[in-house]
Each structure stands twice: as C-alpha cells, then as structure tokens.
Structure 1
Amino acid sequence: MAKKREPLNRRAYLKAAGASGVALTTLAGCLEDAGNGDDDADAGNGNGDDTDDGNGDDASDEDTGNGDDTEDNQIIAGTAPGFEPFEMTRDGELVGFDIDHLEAVVEETDYELVEWEEYEFDSLIPALENERIDVIAAAMTITEEREESIAFSDPYYSADQSVLVETGAGFEPESLEDLEGSQVGAQSGTTGEGIVQDELIDEGLIEDDDYTSYDNYVYAIQDLERGLIDAIIIDEPVGNSFQDDHEVEVAFTYETDEQYGLGIRQGDDDLQAALNEGIAAVEESSEYDEITQEWFGE
C-alpha cells in the first residue's frame, strides 16, 4: 500500500506553484480511513448488490443503505507502479501522470478520493470486481475483452506500442517480423503481451519459450539491459520514459491507436458519469495541459 496522502492539499499546491515546478515527492501516499473494501464500510457508489448513492451517515462498517452522504462519495483508487511516467514510486511516494490526472478529475466531481492502493497490473481488475477499490487509474487500454468484466470512463489518453532494445547491442529491428526467433518480454495483462501472443507466437515468429512475462516492466528493463532478452513491447510513452533513464532505446513504433480509460465496476453508473464529466472539465481547462507538460514535456 502506498503511504497516506492528502489529495486536495496536493492539488492546491500544484495550482499555487505551477505544474512544471512542483516537487512531486510530497504528492503520494494513502489514507487508511476509506469507507470501502472487503471489510470496511460500503462506499455507496455502486458497490455490492443492493447499494446506491444514499447510504451511510455514521461511518459505520455496516451496509445500511440509508442516511445522508457522509461516506457514499468516498472512493479508493487502484494503480500499478513501475509504469513511468504514468505511475511509479519515487522515494517511497506514489507519483505520475495518472495520479495527478485522477486527482484533478475527482476534484471536478462530488466524490472524494481518500486512498490509493497498489497492485500488480493484472490484479487490478479482480481488486475492482471484489470492491477493494472503486476506480482503476493505471494507463489501462479500453478493450472489448476487458469490457466484458468492467466498465470504462471516456478515454483520457491515446497511445501506440513501442519495441525497446538494448542500446549498443547491435539488434535493430524495424518491424514485428524482424523479431522472429528473438527473446521477447512484456508485462502480464498488458497490450504488449497481447501483441506478443497474437502477432508473434500465434504467427509462428517466436515460440512460447521465447516469451517472458513480467509482473512489472521494471524487471523487464533490467533483463533487457543485461542481455537476457532481446526486445520488449511496451506502451509508447512508457518506452520513451525508460529510454531517457536506461541503456535501452526505441527500435520502432507499432501503431495500435489504443485509448486509456479509468476502470469502473459495471453498473456503477453514477461514478462513471461523474468521472466522465470530470475528465471533460480537466481537458477543457489548462490543467490537463499542465499535467501533460509535467510528465511528458509536451
């Protein structure tokens, strides 16, 4: 779990200091008093089988479904650090584009973001379905397969995939076909892993044993720098970020035109509508550009 944090204080500081100059090590952590989860109070934003937006005025641990809206507007967010610059841990603090963006979006709603939980990427959807978290903010691509399990907000970011190789290793692929016979890595549950399966393994370019699945792209980068694998397939902005800080480089970009959305439980219509309104409000203001400039320099 990330450290305790005060999201609203962070946003006020960002606006006061300007997005490009804020010291981000003060931004992260979690509050432990969320009224949500398996054994906490129901947040009343679509969790459970019989709850709605009208439960709980006494911070109790019971699913009463009555009272005013003391707790029913509190939400817990889940993310997967190690995906620079969207979400990562610096000096024990949870920071990144998705962290700043979700906090800005929620501030435009009647909801209160009270806690961040950290998971491996492929554990986020189960955590959402099991009501341990209320929203996923983890550069998650909107796909038909995922929409069978969860709902998504409107898109908030578009990206393609990049193929990373070790700098100076002499391997210079220009297309997926050039990866034939190579040792390839990707993060479990990501679009990159899907491309490995569909475009490389299923097409006979590599064998199952040629693919290494990682819980986190940080481990994949380490193996790439050590020469243990030949290439990584990764989201383009994340690949660019690793290229800046490690002995790896982008060999080529594979266009997918994928879009990221915030993950929400199916049937949580009120929260979904509120987040969509918040996304639109942030994009229409200068804040989206400020957050983008802060993390991507664009």
Structure 2
Amino acid sequence: MRKGLLFILMITLSVLLAACGSSEDQTESADDSNTNAEEETKDTKWNELQDEGEIVVGTSGTLFPASYYPEGSDELTGYDVELMREVADRIGLDLKFEEYGVDGLLAAINSGRIDAVINDFQVTKEREEQFAFSDPYKYSYSTMIVRESDLSGIESLEDLEGKKHGGGATTVFSQIAEHFGATTKTYGNVTNDVYLRDVENGRTDFIINDYYLQSLALKALPDIEVQLHPDLQFHPTSSSIVMPKDATKLQEEINATLQEMHEDGTLTKISEEFFGGKDASKKPEQEIREIEGLDL
C-alpha cells in the first residue's frame, strides 16, 4: 500500500514539474518573442538603409560654414557636410544630400523623403517628442548681429521688445527673439548676405544665430556694415544629427561613430578647417547667459 501511494505521489510530482517547466518555457518563449519584436522594430530604419546601401541626408546648402557652396564651385561642403560624409563612410553607407529650406528639413524627415538632417540643428524638448537625435557634434552659444552705426539700439536682450528679427520661423533663435518681444521676418532658402543686408538697411534690426556661423559670415562679407554685438553672449547650444523617432539602431551607430571621431581627433580636424582654427567640437569655456522662462 505504501509503495502504491509513493508511486502515485511520484507520478503527481512529475506531472507538476512538467507543467511548471512548460509554463516557464512558454514564458521564456514569450519573452524571446517580445525581445525579437522590439529588435525588429528597432532595426527597421537601419535594415532599410542596409538594403539600399545609402543614407539620404537633408541640409540647406546655404548655411556658411556648416553647409554651403564655395564661390565658383558646385561642390557642397562645410563642417556639417564633411562630418556627415565621414560618418556615412564609417558606417558603411553611400551618402546623398537633399537640399531644403531650414523650415522644410524636419518635415522632410516626417514625410520619409530623407533619412536624417544635419544643418546645425539644436535639440529642444518639442523636437525630442518627434525625432531622435545623435550625441552633439558641435558646441557653441548664440550671439546677435546688429548695425555697426548704433548696435540697432540694443544694449541687452530686454531691448528686443518691438524690434524686428531676421530668421527662420521654426528656429530656436526666433523663439528667443520673440520671447523678448521681437517679431520675426522669415525667409526662404536664402544666403547669408540677404539676412545681413536687411539688418544694414533697416528692414530688420538684428539676427540671432550661432556664434561660429555669425562670426565667419561677417568675415566672408566685410563690406556689409553690421557686426556682432560686443556684450551679448547667451543660450549655450549643441548641435546634433536629427533622425526619425524610431531609428534607434541608426542612432546607436551614428553615436558610436561620433565618439570614435572625437577620440581620434577627426572632429577637431574638420572643425579647425571650417571654423578658422577653432575647435567647435568641444564646449566653450566662457560663461554664457542662460535664457530663463523659455522652454527650449
């Protein structure tokens, strides 16, 4: 009788263990399936690029010295352009640039016409809700171009009230100008001289933009009677490559490549070529005014 009971208990225990094993196997299988599904979603854009062997990147082609055509040349170049060429080469993809006005670049990602954007774009909270960003490849801060004759009547950011700013409608710089009470005159995909001459002749009063870009634009166009404001340095910035929100694998590949380019000095070398010997790939050392009350 005891042997029979022992035999029954052993059979019951075996069934329970088998059932537990089956449940665990099913759980592990489900976990594996979820992981595979996540990886598949994560790799969608990357797999697409691998299949095509090419990445299409949007840029303006009019933003000196980030993305522009040298006088008399039909070859696109600039800090952002040459950096992106190096990134694409290192991740094993051919590169094609498509040119858009600044306000059309992010829309071109959303429509699927391009795979990424590089055009001195800053990361903002609003943009992060819609797009993925690489680690920064450039650090800077904002400055202001004003008329040489009277600094456009501006001594502080608070003096922007009622002034007219020249810039793109969707830029951080226009947000800053409007935060302090200015209005923005918007442009299409025009070159720097158009912006500068409008300040000179009074159609606009000032232009907020990146320190490196503005200082070099002024150097390239010395005949226009405008200058950087001597006392206003504000809004520390960083620039990143913009990608579709779900392009996680592409983001990882680009970030790893940028890190490699930081470490081997490639970013410094490209920066010094386009920014007058200055290294824009590192954070500036001076104190820059933060803009309070503006959610960027």
TM-score between both structures, scaled by the size of structure 1 = 0.70
Residues 1:50 and 1:263: Cα distance change in structure 2 (over 3 Å): closer
User: 2:121 matched to 1:140?
Assistant: yes
Residue identity matched to 1:155: P
Q: Which has the higher helix share?
A: 2
Equivalent-residue separation in structure 2 for 1:217 and 1:264 (angstroms): 25
User: 2:265 matched to 1:291?
Assistant: no
What SS does the corresponding residue of 1:253 show, helix, strand or coil? Answer: coil
Residues 1:52 and 1:257: Cα distance change in structure 2 (over 3 Å): closer
Shift of 1:292: 0.9
TM-score between both structures, scaled by the size of structure 2 = 0.71
User: 2:185 matched to 1:212?
Assistant: yes
2:170 is matched with which residue?
189
Number of equivalent positions: 231
Equivalent-residue separation in structure 2 for 1:228 and 1:168 (angstroms): 15
Residues 1:190 and 1:264: Cα distance change in structure 2 (over 3 Å): same
Deviations 1:106-140 (A, max 9, x none): 22223x13310000111111111111111111000
Query: Which of 106, 109, 112 does residue 128 from structure 1 map onto?
Result: 109
Shift of 1:83: 1.6
Deviations 1:190-222 (A, max 9, x none): 111110122x22xxxx4x4xx312234623223
Indicate if the aligned counterparts of 1:98 and 1:137 stay in contact, CA closer than 8 A: yes
User: 2:55 matched to 1:75?
Assistant: yes
What SS does the corresponding residue of 2:207 show, helix, strand or coil? Answer: strand
Indicate if the aligned counterparts of 1:106 and 1:278 stay in contact, CA closer than 8 A: no
2:247 is matched with which residue?
268
Q: Percent identity?
A: 26
Residue identity matched to 1:144: K
What SS does the corresponding residue of 2:219 show, helix, strand or coil? Answer: helix
Of the two, which has the highest radius of gyration? 2
Query: Which of 77, 80, 83 does residue 101 from structure 1 map onto?
Result: 83
Equivalent-residue separation in structure 2 for 1:108 and 1:195 (angstroms): 36
Deviations 1:85-110 (A, max 9, x none): 11112223211100011111222223
Residue identity matched to 2:147: E
Equivalent-residue separation in structure 2 for 1:50 and 1:253 (angstroms): 44
Superposition map of 1:50-65 within 5 A: 51=44, 53-54=46-47
Aligned Cα root-mean-square deviation (Å) = 2.6
User: 2:234 matched to 1:255?
Assistant: yes
Residue identity matched to 2:141: D
Runs of 4 or more consecutive aligned structure 1 residues displaced over 4 Å after TM superposition: 48-56
Equivalent-residue separation in structure 2 for 1:214 and 1:186 (angstroms): 7
5+ residue gaps in structure 2?
A: 1-38, 279-296
5+ residue gaps in structure 1?
A: 1-45, 57-68
Equivalent-residue separation in structure 2 for 1:149 and 1:52 (angstroms): 15
Query: Which of 177, 197, 219 does residue 158 from structure 2 map onto?
Result: 177
What SS does the corresponding residue of 2:197 show, helix, strand or coil? Answer: helix
Shift of 1:169: 4.8
Equivalent-residue separation in structure 2 for 1:95 and 1:50 (angstroms): 30
2:290 is matched with which residue?
none
